[in-house]
Structure 1
Amino acid sequence: MKYVSMFDKIDLHLIRVLHTVLTERSVSRAALRLGMYQPAVSSSLKRLRELAGDPLLVRSGAGMVPTVAGLRMIEPAAHILRSAEMLFSDARSFDPATASHTFSLAASDYMDPQFLPQLVTQLKAHAPGCPIDIHPLSADADYRHQLAQGQVDVVIGNWPKPPDDLHLGRLFGDEVVCLVSTQHPAVKRGWDAEAWLAADHIAPMPTHPGARGVIDDHLASLGLLRKIAARCPHFGLIPAMVAGSLLVLTTGRQYCERFVDTLPVQILPSPIVFPRMMYYQLWHERTHASVAGRWLRDQIKTVASSLRRIEHDVANAV
């Protein structure tokens, strides 16, 4: 109880007066530096002496000098003041070049396969001292809980209806197409909705509990069900699986186009019309005002925009 009682008598202003009086070794000079009237500084010094049980500052000739106890207090008081300043300045400013803030994000690899590599490259180029933790979106992970608990700063992925209890930033939209082997019968014969539904499809594992994915959610809204013959948690491996089989991958065009020059695969239009696949970044209210969080979200948006510009430029050049 004695500690609590002592702590209740100390405030940051009193620590500032203590440090200034001890370093200036003069009540009058301390008053000028603090922008206070001298009697107010003298009153604060009296309180400090009572708390310390020591004079702290004593007269020596024409001036004043700290006591042994006063000398011991100078550096701890300075440390407290520096920590207090950092406590609030860090909340208001963020210098990526010198920061050591850890960025944590959860992301789906359904996106452009160049997205995460380019994002990491950009983050390390501008914030070399900031560690980056990338978590997968999986059925075992509750991304709402992760955001609320501060386990991740941002979640990146695509949802047919993004949750309305989180902040949202749209990254880009993409046309839904099908990726098949060049040996798939539909390459020569074409297909209709019935043939597409009956084909062997490959799909990713759910990204969170209860998720079906944007493709199957839309089919369900139409009262349709496709035949899923395989599921894989590693989306980046699926195009190679498609290339060596008759499996059909239905996803965004931008993703599929990354593989047509490296694998024996071909992009076909979907015989069922899907809405554009929209990609977002989501974040919680707890990080909404964070300067570091805003900087991270700006980098994510910049990388996503640069990938879309590249696709647009390539399309125009063809």
Structure 2
Amino acid sequence: MKKDTLVDLSLLRVFCVLMGERSVSRTAVRLEMSQPAVSLALGRLREHFSDQLLMRGRGGMVPTDRALTILPRIQSLLIDAEALAEDTAPFDISACNHSFTIASPDYLAPIFLGDVIAAARREAPGVRLVIRALGPDFDFETALAKGEIDTVIGNWPSPPNYLRRSVLLEDEVVCVMGKHHKLAQGRFTQADYLAAAHIAPVSYSVAHRGLVETHLGRLRLVRDRTVALSYFGMAPYLLLESDLLFTTSRHFASYFAAFLPLAVRTSPIRFPAMTFYQLWHERSHHAPTHRWLRDLITRSRRSIDSSPSARPPPGT
């Protein structure tokens, strides 16, 4: 870097996003900038560091050795700069224009996310929220460490122990099926459960299995995973005209059973409670804006408790 010049922090932010996206166009979309503006920023960065930093390759832009060397130091500098700004400025969430990214599968009842957004709009109308899906190809632990996402909502039996976490909700595991299903009434045994055809969620983390499969594995039991589904919110609709079962949390099942012809039944296999966590990295633990976001999410979980659909229907 030239010794007689300083790099603008906004340029460093563009550099970090470029290193993650390896694309000028995707960086422009993510930062809500024009492509020419991103290209101009890259040109200024190249001048500052006397290096090409990112060059065209077959699969996108390829970082130089220099870019890979300075990336961790720049990320650390931006974290410190953000923390310093938040420590010195009076905190007023109503004037905040920060953008937050929440990563979560869609296995919480929609009323929860609706309450998060409604509360954010009331308290911080300038804040932008990005809701990002989790999937097996997304390394959420690294994304938290880099600040690419701000918090993760998950329900692993054993979440990563080095991340900060709080419990959002503990819920009973139940079975949901169409009201026409032969198991919707009467006797429902473990043998019935294992013999049935099931909708099974696709794991959203390579390293962390879901509660249902983890518990069945411990019991050395195997169910028929007839349909593997990445979209939890679609599962209730697939039950309406099929003989499938879906094993999920009580609040999720009850929410959809309130307006769809579904039956919710206590599982004949005793599963541990399904615990939903909020996870975040130490880097953002003390930041006032991030504390507000986590508190907002915690408060919004009460919408599940107060919803009539969250109460067990009679006879289940």
Kept in 2, the 8 Å contact 1:178–1:268? The answer is: yes
Structure 1 gap segments, 5+ residues each: 8-84
Kept in 1, the 8 Å contact 2:115–2:300? The answer is: yes
Instruction: Give the Å deviation of 1:194.
Output: 1.4
- For residue 91 of structure 1, the aligned residue among 84, 87, 92 is 87
Partner of 2:167: 170
Partner of 2:191: 194
Partner of 1:27: none
Instruction: Give the Å deviation of 1:159.
Output: 1.0
- For residue 147 of structure 1, the aligned residue among 144, 152, 155 is 144
Partner of 1:279: 276
Partner of 2:249: 252
Partner of 1:156: 153
Alignment partner of 1:290 is 2:287: yes
Alignment partner of 1:180 is 2:206: no
Alignment partner of 1:301 is 2:298: yes
Give per-residue Cα distances to partners, 1:3-50, cap 9 Å, x unaligned: 55x99xxxxxxxxxxxxxxxxxxxxxxxxxxxxxxxxxxxxxxxxxxx
My pick for the range that moved more, 183-192 or 244-253, is 183-192
Q: How far apart are the structure 2 equivalents of 1:245 and 1:200?
A: 9
Kept in 1, the 8 Å contact 2:115–2:303? The answer is: no
Task: Go from structure 1 to structure 2 and tell me whether the alpha carbon gap of 1:203 and 1:2 turns closer, same or farther (over 3 Å shift).
Answer: closer
The amino acid that maps onto 1:302 is R
Q: How far apart are the structure 2 equivalents of 1:140 and 1:86?
A: 29
Map 1:68-87 → 2, pairs under 5 A:
none
Task: Go from structure 1 to structure 2 and tell me whether the alpha carbon gap of 1:313 and 1:158 turns closer, same or farther (over 3 Å shift).
Answer: closer
Kept in 2, the 8 Å contact 1:201–1:248? The answer is: yes
Kept in 1, the 8 Å contact 2:250–2:310? The answer is: no
Map 1:188-267 → 2, pairs under 5 A:
188-267=185-264
Aligned residue-pair number: 240
Q: Percent identity?
A: 36
Q: Which runs of 4+ in 1 moved over 3 A?
A: 1-4, 85-89, 309-317
Task: Go from structure 1 to structure 2 and tell me whether the alpha carbon gap of 1:264 and 1:208 turns closer, same or farther (over 3 Å shift).
Answer: same
Kept in 2, the 8 Å contact 1:115–1:307? The answer is: yes
Alignment partner of 1:105 is 2:102: yes
My pick for the range that moved more, 307-316 or 129-138, is 307-316
Kept in 1, the 8 Å contact 2:198–2:244? The answer is: yes
Kept in 1, the 8 Å contact 2:156–2:208? The answer is: no
Kept in 2, the 8 Å contact 1:171–1:305? The answer is: no
Instruction: Give the Å deviation of 1:316.
Output: 11
Q: How far apart are the structure 1 equivalents of 2:94 and 2:284?
A: 21
Partner of 1:15: none
Task: Go from structure 1 to structure 2 and tell me whether the alpha carbon gap of 1:3 and 1:89 turns closer, same or farther (over 3 Å shift).
Answer: closer
Rg comparison, structure with higher value = 1
Task: Go from structure 1 to structure 2 and tell me whether the alpha carbon gap of 1:2 and 1:137 turns closer, same or farther (over 3 Å shift).
Answer: closer
Q: How far apart are the structure 2 equivalents of 1:143 and 1:281?
A: 13
Instruction: Give the Å deviation of 1:113.
Output: 2.0
Q: CA RMSD in A?
A: 2.7
Secondary structure of the 1:114 match is: helix
Q: How far apart are the structure 2 equivalents of 1:188 and 1:314?
A: 19
Partner of 1:123: 120
Q: How far apart are the structure 2 equivalents of 1:255 and 1:220?
A: 23
Q: How far apart are the structure 2 equivalents of 1:119 and 1:128?
A: 13
Partner of 1:81: none
Q: How far apart are the structure 2 equivalents of 1:2 and 1:272?
A: 66
Give per-residue Cα distances to partners, 1:268-303, cap 9 Å, x unaligned: 111100011000100001111111110000000000
Task: Go from structure 1 to structure 2 and tell me whether the alpha carbon gap of 1:89 and 1:177 turns closer, same or farther (over 3 Å shift).
Answer: same
Q: How far apart are the structure 2 equivalents of 1:112 and 1:172?
A: 12
The amino acid that maps onto 1:239 is P
Q: How far apart are the structure 1 equivalents of 2:267 and 2:3?
A: 72
Task: Go from structure 1 to structure 2 and tell me whether the alpha carbon gap of 1:313 and 1:215 turns closer, same or farther (over 3 Å shift).
Answer: closer
Q: How far apart are the structure 1 equivalents of 2:192 and 2:104?
A: 33
